[in-house]
Structure 1
Amino acid sequence: MGKNSKTIATNRKARHDYFIEETFETGIVLSGTEVKSIRQGRVNVKESYAMVENGEVFIHGMHISPYEQGNIYNVDPIRKRKLLLHKREINKLIGYVTQKGYSLVPLKVYLKNGLVKIELATAKGKKLHDKRQTIAKKEANRRIQRHLSEKY
Structure 2
Amino acid sequence: MNTEDLNFAYKVRHKLNERLDDLPASTTDRLAQARQAALARKKADAPLRVKQAALATVGAGGARGLGAAFSQPFAWLGRVSMVIPLLVLVTGLIGIYQYEQQQRVAELAELDAAVLSDELPLSAYLDHGFNAYLAQSEQSEQ
The TM-score, its normalising length taken from structure 1, stands at: 0.23
Higher strand share: 1
Which of these two proteins has the greater Rg computed from alpha carbons? 2
The TM-score, its normalising length taken from structure 2, stands at: 0.25
Higher helix share: 2
Larger RCO of the pair (alpha carbons < 8 Å, separation 6+): 1
